[in-house]
Amino acid sequence: MRNRILMAAADEIKTRGVKFTMSDLARRLSLSKTSLYEHFASKNALVHDILSIAIQDVQEQEQQIYNNSDLSVAEKVRALLRVSQHVFGPIHNHSIFDDLRHYYPEEWQLVSDFQQERLDHLMSLIVQGIENSSLRPVNVPVLRQVVNSAMNDLFNYRFLEESNMTHADALSAMADIIMYVLLPPNK
């Protein structure tokens, strides 16, 4: 039942954003709100669990990339820049990230901390690539800021809507641009 509630809540988030109510969710599941609260102490706890599952999904994908010895450093960087969560499927309601920042600051902090951790690992890999000459030498602190800013801006639903892109499309385009900068001219 808990998994069913999580999946239904994720569907609510996709269509309504995090502004859905527990009543909306109860109706979707044909359950009472009391039944929902037997599994989740609050809506915040439910949103927190959904985000935790999505983060775990990304972590598992990234770990597979880092552990794949068949990939070059450049291929790993490109693949890592394209990773997005798959557990709950694509998010059509792009305002979720703005809503999280505004209505669920603790949960947004969880997401923000995870993004910084991802960025730390990515920059370490890039430094490794620079040191072994498989990537061009670049100013790593500036690159970190560029990637961080781009990743945050790519969560902006207005940009995605105006550009007629999905978040995955935007990540892929960003990965291609970053790799163009990082790859030595002869590659």
User: Do 21 and 44 touch, CB atoms closer than 8 A?
Assistant: no
Q: Is residue 62 part of a domain?
A: yes
pLDDT single digits (tens) 126-171:
999 999 999 999 999 999 999 988 887 777 667 878 888 887 888 8
pLDDT (mean) for 59-70:
97
Domain that residue 133 falls in:
54-182
Q: Is residue 125 part of a domain?
A: yes
What is the DSSP-derived secondary structure letter of residue 170? Answer: H
Instruction: Find tokens 């502004």 and name the residue.
Output: 19
Instruction: Find tokens 């994720």 and name the residue.
Output: 10
Q: Which residue has the higher pLDDT, 12 or 166?
A: 12
pLDDT at 93 over 70: no
Q: What is the C-alpha to C-alpha distance for residues 15 and 27, in angstroms, rounded to an integer?
A: 15
Exposure string over 159-178, b if 16+ CB within 10 A, otherwise e: ebeeeebebeebbbbbbeeb
Q: Is residue 160 part of a domain?
A: yes
Q: How many other C-beta atoms are found inside a 10 Å radius of the C-beta of residue 72?
A: 12
Q: Is residue 45 part of a domain?
A: no
Q: Is residue 59 part of a domain?
A: yes
Q: Is residue 5 part of a domain?
A: no
Confidence of residue 116 (pLDDT cuts 50, 70, 90): very high
Where residue 102 sits, what CATH number does that domain have?
1.10.357.10
Query: Helix (H, G, I), strand (E, B), or coil: what is residue 184?
Result: coil
**Of the ranges 24-38, 67-81, 158-172, which one carries the lowest mean pLDDT score?**
158-172
Q: How many structural domains is the chain composed of?
A: 1
Confidence of residue 187 (pLDDT cuts 50, 70, 90): low
Q: Is residue 23 part of a domain?
A: no
Q: Is residue 44 part of a domain?
A: no
Query: Helix (H, G, I), strand (E, B), or coil: what is residue 71?
Result: coil
Please indicate, yes or no, whether the overall pTM of this predicted structure exceeds 0.75. yes
Best CA proximity match to 87, nearest among 186, 3, 144: 3
Q: What per-residue confidence (pLDDT) applies to 162?
A: 87
Q: What is the C-alpha to C-alpha distance for residues 145 and 179, in angstroms, rounded to an integer?
A: 16
Which two tokens mark 182?
Answer: 């990082």
